[in-house]
Homo-oligomer: A and B are copies of this chain.
Amino acid sequence: MEETRFLLGAKDLPKTWYNVLPDLPRPLDPPLNPATKQPIGPDALAALFPMALIEQEVSSKGEIPIPPEVLDIYALWRPTPLRRAIRLEQMLGTPAKIFYKDESVSPSGSHKLNTAVAQTFYNKQDGTKRITTETGAGQWGSALSIACKMFDITCRVYMVKVSYQQKPYRRSLMQVFGAEVIPSPSKLTKFGQQVLKEDPECTGSLGIAISEAMEDAVTSKNTRYSLGSVLNHVLLHQTVIGQEAKKQMELAGAYPDFIIGCVGGGSNYAGLALPFMRDKLKGGKKTRFIAVEPRACPSITKGRYAYDHGDTARMTPLLKQHTLGHVFIPPAIHAGGLRYHGMAGIISLLCAEKCMEAVAYHQSDVFKNAMLFAQAEGTIPAPETSHAIAAAIDIAKECKKTGEKKTILLNFSGHGYFDMGAYDSYLAGKLEDTECTQEEIEQALQCLPK
């Protein structure tokens, strides 16, 4: 029988995170103080993050050791399986091989726990008693809730209101792990109050929820803030995914021609892609890296590469990124985790430098392909993950036309067991494909700081 799962044991767990910063084609542009437009120092972030994470944010070391306490928890579900979607290949009749790194097996159901555990560990070491955060679809909030319970830290999650309503069981899951879940915009923060005053029906956005969580952290005792994507240290923690996948692709006797992942803030894709990107940047590999975003929130494909805030209330420093403008509120598509106006600086730079490409999909195409994947492989992907699947299937179909035996690797970032309401809508023919006009995007981009 042909092996379709490539498994590693605890002894194969990566002992370091891979830091791409020293390998980038050029240095990242530094975060700027919005008032002075000068680069900010580490101290400016100390109210939000423990110093160990701030150091990781700017480290020039290529490898950063994973603390044993973090490895102990990773060992609950890591290394995750690499699978070959052989039944999907057969269904498509493609000569391409499709592999997927299965991050859905984590207790939280996605890759997010990789960084949640790390961030919570460093916070615990630093004496943090309480952490606030935002969540879109609930994957990040679930992960942080689990990690906080493991390190005995109080957790409050501001959950984007539309997701809070669409995914009640994500809320329940966070509550099982003792977290407090607040629909955002809320009346608990000044910024939330302001948003609700202007629009009492506001369904929220990641940008707004980030602002609320940050405001809560800086105005509360012993409280810090935790971000689930975008920042360098978050992407760093996710590189366990790609490091494992490299070993597993060796077990499978193949090397990917295409590496695909969905991007909201960019962390799951970076986690898979960056260790392979090193082979391209330093080893001359010709792999194509394809980041997949929703047409309803096309930061890379239609946004601008510019300095912008990471949140709606303009509390963050200015970060160089692909952005639709911090005032941009995406349509309420089901891939809540991809509803972010900006993009990780690392992913943005790699796209700008043509090391990485981006494509955008409508959600109806995404769900059509998710159904195909589910019916072939048996497993239901998260709406976010399904963006990567859609792009992989399109490439595999192209291979069918050309006869090329390409190897495709995608990140199966999370399962869809908490997203069945979205599948209900798809099956009922109720999914809407919303696309912003170039005018609307230009309008939102007016908010960019001069």
The 8 closest A-B pairs by CB, nearest first: A107-B378, A169-B420, A172-B420, A417-B417, A107-B379, A3-B10, A172-B424, A146-B378
Look across to chain B and name the residue whose beta carbon is closest to the beta carbon of A427: B175
Determine if A375 is an interface residue (Cβ-Cβ < 8 Å).
yes
- CB interface residues, A 1-46, toward B, < 8 Å: 1-5, 7, 9-11, 13
Structural contact, B150 and A1, CB atoms closer than 8 A: no
* Residues of the B chain whose Cβ atoms lie less than 8 Å from the Cβ of A168: 420, 424
Give the distance to chain B from A52, nearest Cβ to Cβ, in Å: 21
Cβ contacts under 8 Å, A109 to chain B: 417
Q: Which residue of B lies closest to A150 (CB)?
A: B378
Q: Does A331 belong to the interface (CB within 8 Å)?
A: no
CB < 8 Å neighbour of A76 from B4, B418, B421: B4
Would you call A178 and B375 a contact (CB within 8 A)? yes
Q: Does A439 contact B (CB under 8 A)?
A: no
Q: Is A423 part of the contact surface with B, judged by Cβ < 8 Å?
A: yes
Tell me the residues in window 341-384 of chain A with beta carbons closer than 8 Å to chain B beta carbons. 371, 374-375, 377-380
With A105-B105, A149-B375, A380-B173 as given contacts, are A1 and B7 in contact (CB-CB < 8 Å)?
no
Cβ of A323 within 8 Å of any chain B Cβ, yes or no, is no
Across the interface, which residues of B come within 8 angstroms of A420, CB to CB?
168-169, 172-173, 176
Q: Which of A67-75, A208-216, A219-227, A267-275 contacts B (4 or more CB under 8 A)?
A: A67-75
Partner pick for A9 among B3, B10, B175, CB 8 A cutoff = B3
* Complex Cα spacing A173 to B177, Å: 25
Q: What are 21 inter-chain pairs, A to B, with CB distance below 8 A?
A: A1-B11, A1-B68, A1-B71, A1-B72, A3-B11, A4-B76, A77-B378, A106-B378, A113-B378, A146-B378, A168-B424, A169-B169, A169-B417, A172-B421, A172-B423, A172-B427, A173-B417, A175-B424, A175-B427, A176-B380, A417-B418
A374 to B173, CA, bound (A): 10
Residue of B nearest to A113 (CB): B378
Interface residue? A87 (CB, 8 A): yes
Check if A238 is an interface residue, CB within 8 A of chain B: no
For A3, A10, A176, the residue with the greatest tally of chain B CB atoms inside 10 Å of its CB is: A176
A1, B5: Cβ atoms closer than 8 Å: no
Closest B residue by C-beta to A85: B76
Nearest B residue to A71, CB-CB: B1
- A145-169 contact mask (Cβ, 8 Å, vs B): 1 or 0: 0100110000000000000000011
- Known A150-B378, A177-B374; contact A5-B172, beta-carbon cutoff 8 A: no
CB distance from A438 to the nearest CB of B (A): 35
**Given A1-B13, A77-B378, A417-B418; 11 other pairs, CB 8 A cutoff:** A3-B9, A4-B75, A5-B10, A76-B87, A107-B377, A107-B379, A113-B378, A172-B423, A173-B423, A175-B424, A176-B427
Tell yes or no: A413 within 8 A of B by CB: no
| A108 at the binding interface (Cβ < 8 Å) | yes
Chain B residue with the shortest CB-CB distance to A425: B172
CA of A377 to CA of B106, assembled, Å: 11
